[in-house]
Each structure stands twice: as C-alpha cells, then as structure tokens.
Amino acid sequence: LYLQTWDPDLAKTAKAWTKKCLFKHNIYLKERGKTHPRFGSAGENLWTGSASAFTAKGAIGAWYGEVEFYTYDTNGCSRVCGHYTQVVWATSYKVGCAVHFCLTVKYISIRNAAHFVCNYVPP
C-alpha cells in the first residue's frame, strides 16, 4: 500500500477534461503521454452534481461508499464499485483532481453543475 501524493500533471489533465463539461471518461486515458508525461495510462473517477451541493469530500465519499458492494475474498463487485477500488487501489500512488462549474453537462441532465474529476496513476 502506497501513500497517495498530489500530482500537478494529473490535476492539469483533470482540469482540461472537466472544462469540456462531458459526463464521460477522458478518451486519452490509455494513450501513452496523453494524460501524464511519465506514466503510460491513468485511472479516472467522475462526479457530477449540483454546484451548490459540491464538496470534494462529498464526491470522494460517494466513491468510497461503493465499498459495500466490494467483496475482498473474490476481489469482485456485487454492484458498481470501480470508483471505490480506484480510490483505495494499493498500487496507485499519485492523484490529481479538478472541478469545473458547468451550466450544463453533456450526457447527464444536471444544470448549474459541479463537474469533478480525479485521475490516478498507476491505474
């Protein structure tokens, strides 16, 4: 288990993607050099919700809350739990996040939204 530290390159990638106001993953996550100068690929979590209700702690807490669907014995999920596993993944040791406030976010019906993205390496 590694201590996660802040990475400004990952935060820059997250900020660039949040500004697009799209509720979908960055299409460049698996392309070497597109998300980070030293890592070949990155993992990513997205959270989009009301701008007035947004806190980073709340968004990360929502991802972590998927722990109830994770089974340690099988390393599997009974429902969606990939956000949880990304947050706690033992080999991920760099993280960078950003939020952008969007009037609308494509692919989701939320107006006046906070669009929050965290990128992790290695994924």
Per-residue pLDDT tens over the stretch 105-117: 999 999 999 999 9
- Residue 101 Cα to chain centre, angstroms: 16
Task: Average the pLDDT over each of 5-9, 54-58, 84-88 and give the range with the smallest value.
Answer: 84-88
Q: Which two tokens stand for residue 77?
A: 């999920």
Is 34 a residue whose pLDDT tops 80?
A: yes
Question: What Rg, from alpha-carbon coordinates, does the chain have?
Answer: 14
Q: Any idea what the CATH number is for the domain that residue 73 is in? A: 3.40.33.10
For tokens 């994924």, what's the residue? 123
Is 1 a residue whose pLDDT tops 70?
A: no
Measured CA to CA, the distance from residue 111 to residue 113 in angstroms comes to 5
* Per-residue pLDDT at 90: 87
Residue 114 lies in a domain: yes
Note down the domain range covering 116: 5-26+38-121
Report helix, strand or coil for 123: coil
Eight-class DSSP state of 11: H
Count structural domains, the chain. Answer: 1
Q: Which two tokens stand for residue 5?
A: 């530290």
Is 66 a residue whose pLDDT tops 80?
A: yes
Task: Average the pLDDT over each of 31-35, 41-45, 63-67 and give the range with the smallest value.
Answer: 31-35
- Residue 89 Cα to chain centre, angstroms: 13
